[in-house]
Amino acid sequence: MAVAIKAENLSKAYQLGEIGTGTISRDLERWWAKMRGKEDPFLRIGEANDRTSKGTSDVVWSLRDINFEIAEGDAVGIIGRNGAGKSTLLKVLSRVTSPTAGRISGKGRIASLLEVGTGFHPELTGRENIYLNGAILGMRKREITRHFDAIVDFAGVERYVDTPVKRYSSGMYVRLAFAVAAHLESEILIVDEVLAVGDAEFQKKCLGKMGEVSKGEGRTVLFVSHNMTAVRELCKNSIVLKNGKIAFDGLALDGISFYQNTVEALSQFIYKGDPLQAPGNDKIKVLAFTIKPSIGDTISISSGVSFSFTFLNLIAQQNLAITFELRTLDETVVFHHGTWLCQNSDSVVGSYTVSSTIAPNTLNSGFYKFNFIIASSYHDVLYSENDFVQFEVLNESLAGNSQKLPGVIRPNLEYQIDYPTQS
């Protein structure tokens, strides 16, 4: 199958602070190097785009040594945390910005929707912007006219199509922008988180249209989203970015699992060495704390969460109790719950395993962390640890709404409705 997009050693650096070199002579030297096709002599070697640590360089590499191939007609999800380089990659692929190093080769015209109203002129009407975007893609007027009614109908802005788009609401803006990008005859469609703006009905239409564009029309789709359900439904393949580098390139389901289990914070702990050297103290040694979905391969709202904790008890003939505390990353306590392992001073030296399950449709999407306390009584704590493991619950659409809903829990409630009697 023919290749639609190919990236070779693609890198993008941004200089922090002052852009110039500081002297006219050095600026001229930089310009002369560029004219001869040479590397910038004053571009210092930077570090990866890791926002969690303080850098020592004035240069941040948003992308570093990116290599991949995307086949024609493929739908690829770009996955990663904020700051991983996803939007920068799409901007480079869309020719919005130039790479610092490496090259991109592609086949076909690209329609991109990177931000609300990208490519729109606020003083022009919706009608004029439709024709302007088509012209930018290299389409003839009659080609644009052929799709005009479908674009306006999809966006639902027929009443305002001859109104300047600066008077549109953000919802109208994004509906028209997506409709233009999806309907005009480009071979490659690039979409960055547009679904986070529209309402539930429009989000459902967007997903349906992108599936139609990819599977029905054979066009190539690149889709950035934090909604793993949308990526799973729409995309065949995925690319996972971490700190500006490719951490995974493969099937979408495998990419989602990789993203959850390895790219993010520690989601399990298993100690494989000498148990007496495991984390803990002279009373308790922690051997394992694992978290996995109760149903399926990835932790999501409907999968539930199973967790298992194993520790080595080194003191016999005492009481043992364990308490688990689940918190969000902003320290909101979700629950604080535990159980007695033995209450009659009859503990033994050896390993204890405590397992439990958080039922499906309990936790909302987001990141969570476990604290634990092992005690012999309420006042006698044997060992405790905060933020020991973390995990992410992936989002799921609800009645077509793919946005994250508010709240720590998201139960699947059943309702009994008593309707009024008709006279």
Query: Which has more pLDDT, 315 or 260?
Result: 315
Q: In the structure, what pLDDT confidence band is assigned to residue 139 with cuts at 50, 70 and 90? A: confident
pLDDT of residue 54: 45
pLDDT of residue 47: 46
d(CA 171, CA 75): 25
pLDDT of residue 318: 92
Mean pLDDT computed over 250-278? 78
46 pLDDT above the threshold of 70? no
CATH code assigned at 96? 3.40.50.300
C-alpha Rg value of the chain to the nearest Å: 27
Q: What is the pLDDT of residues 358-406, one digit of tens each?
A: 999 999 988 898 999 999 887 788 999 887 888 888 888 776 566 677 8
CATH code assigned at 308? 2.70.50.60
Which domain-ending residue is among 262, 281, 313? Answer: 262
45 pLDDT above the threshold of 70? no
Statement to judge: residues 256 and 283 lie in one domain: no
Statement to judge: residues 238 and 333 lie in one domain: no
Within-domain flag for 209: yes
Residue 379: other Cβ atoms inside 10 A? 6
Exposure b/e, 328-364, CB count within 10 A at least 16 = b: eeeeeebeeebeebbeeeebeeeebebeeebebbbbb
Mean pLDDT of all residues belonging to the chain: 82
Statement to judge: residues 189 and 86 lie in one domain: yes
pLDDT of residue 265: 46
Statement to judge: residues 198 and 328 lie in one domain: no
DSSP E strand stretches across 172-298: 188-192, 220-224, 237-242, 245-251, 268-270, 284-293
Q: What is the pLDDT of residues 49-86, one digit of tens each?
A: 454 444 455 677 889 999 999 988 888 999 887 678 88
18 pLDDT above the threshold of 50? no
Mean pLDDT computed over 273-296? 92
d(CA 89, CA 238): 14
Statement to judge: residues 122 and 201 lie in one domain: yes
Q: What is the pLDDT of residues 89-132, one digit of tens each?
A: 988 888 888 888 888 888 877 877 776 556 688 899 999 989 98
Within-domain flag for 402: no
- Listed in sequence order, the residues at least 6 apart from 394 whose beta carbon sits closer than 8 Å to its beta carbon are 228, 229, 256, 260, 298, 299, 300, 301, 365
Within-domain flag for 409: no
Q: What is the pLDDT of residues 285-334, one digit of tens each?
A: 999 999 999 998 888 899 999 999 999 999 999 999 999 999 887 678 89
pLDDT of residue 53: 47
Mean pLDDT computed over 134-156? 85
Statement to judge: residues 353 and 293 lie in one domain: yes
- Give me the number of domains the chain comprises: 2
Within-domain flag for 255: yes
What pTM, to 2 d.p., does this model score? 0.56
30 pLDDT above the threshold of 90? no
Range of the domain at 384: 268-393
pLDDT of residue 193: 66
Statement to judge: residues 258 and 273 lie in one domain: no
